[in-house]
Structure 1
Amino acid sequence: MGAITAALGYPLLKSSSFSAASPLNAFRSEDRGALGEADGVVPDGVTVFDDAIPAVANLDPDLIKALRQAATDAADDGVELYVNSGWRSPEYQNQLLREAVSKHGSEAEAARWVATAATSPHVSGDAVDIGHSDATAWLSDHGAEYGLCQIYKNEPWHYELRSNAIDRGCPRMYADPTQDPRMQQ
């Protein structure tokens, strides 16, 4: 990952809003310069049913179907599934990576939280970050019933579709993205 900063061709950005509890929750539109909703920036209060928001509309159709089925059932338990981040443009993903490098002080540490645009399942529409804590707790208990699995132990908000989880349960989680073979490019 040593050439990431050079490959991106951008200076590192300073951001004091990065939170270890949920790094992407803290980034709001005003912190992202020219990037906006069209790039996948999510305004507050977006749910899995908000088709007008590109971060939701550009998710994989099977993922969004599973999320909506889960959200409907979660609502019966008084839980709402908010989308903190979903689909992202490559430009947005690159900006998040630059900010993570700046915040964490190294590309190696940043890689524990933010993937490159070439490897991120957010860029392909195959991942969603869910909030609030009651929603992530609900998905932790019930997500496999819908094929929705937490992939990384250090990111309880990050979910991806694993259809075979409905019958077999979710696969073992990686400690963080650096252990995920998909992130090696």
Structure 2
Amino acid sequence: MRYGWVATALGTAVAAGVITVFAGQAVTRVSGSAQPAHISSAAGHPDRPCPVDGTYQDKDPSGMKPAAITAWLDVTRIAAGEGVTLCLHDGKRDAEQQRAEFEDYVRKYGAEVAATYVLPPERSMHVQGTAADVQPRASAQWLEQSRGKYGWCRRYDNEFWHFEYDPSYATGGCPARQPHA
């Protein structure tokens, strides 16, 4: 990879807590104007609307594992080169947030239905820092068509937006999708 040393250095700095990054040019196109890549303070950036579909958010990937952050930044840059904007609608969640979401779904829909859309914290790849909910749909389809080439694979039939990162996907392809979480 041409920029491998940059990604490695950036990943190391993120892991060390020296800086927090968020996806630059690929996800910061607002009203047709491109903004340069950014390095933010440790506080990260506030959630902002997805530039290609404001009904979704574009969130800071900084809570994800360093390798997943690097892979996310790489794939957003590649996608942008093909005219596709990937928005990170949801990435890292802490266990408390995941538990609250799971319990909310249980209250609203019952345990059986909840378990098909939201996993408890101990089973969630969002909590592990290796999951990304990609929006809008056309962007998620672009990523899915890469078939793991960039380390990201769609994991569930019922969630077109949910991708998980594993470096082995880049060489071995995506595992078979599961019907639901």
TM range (shorter): 0.5 to 0.7
CA separation of 1:143 and 1:62: change in aligned 2, threshold 3 A = farther
CA separation of 1:103 and 1:42: change in aligned 2, threshold 3 A = farther
Tell me the CA shift for residue 152 of structure 1: 0.9
* Runs of 4+ more than 4 Å apart: none
> Would you tell me which structure has more strand in proportion to its own residues?
2
**TM-score, with structure 1 as normaliser:** 0.65
Q: 3-state SS of the aligned residue for 2:128?
A: coil
Higher relative contact order (CA 8 A, sep 6+): 1
Question: Are 1:139 and 2:136 an aligned pair?
Answer: no
Tell me the CA shift for residue 143 of structure 1: 4.9
Tell me the CA shift for residue 63 of structure 1: 1.1
Specify every segment of 5 or more residues in structure 2 that has no aligned partner in the other structure, as ranges: 1-42, 51-56
Equivalent residues in 2 for 1:7-18, closer than 5 Å: none
Tell me the CA shift for residue 109 of structure 1: 1.1
Write the distance in 1 (CA, Å) between the matches of 2:130 and 2:157. 18
Question: Are 1:116 and 2:136 an aligned pair?
Answer: no
| Aligned length, in residue pairs | 131
Question: 1:114-135 CA deviation, whole Å, 9 max, x = no partner?
Answer: 0111221111212111111111
Q: 3-state SS of the aligned residue for 2:49?
A: coil
Amino acid at match of 1:112: T
Specify every segment of 5 or more residues in structure 1 that has no aligned partner in the other structure, as ranges: 1-37, 178-185
Write the distance in 2 (CA, Å) between the matches of 1:124 and 1:166. 19
Write the distance in 2 (CA, Å) between the matches of 1:68 and 1:136. 15
Q: 3-state SS of the aligned residue for 1:145?
A: coil
Write the distance in 2 (CA, Å) between the matches of 1:129 and 1:103. 21
**TM-score, with structure 2 as normaliser:** 0.66
For the aligned residues, what is the CA RMSD?
2.0
**Which of 148, 155, 180 is matched with 2:152 structurally?**
148
- Does the CA contact (< 8 Å) of 2:130 and 2:166 recur in 1? no
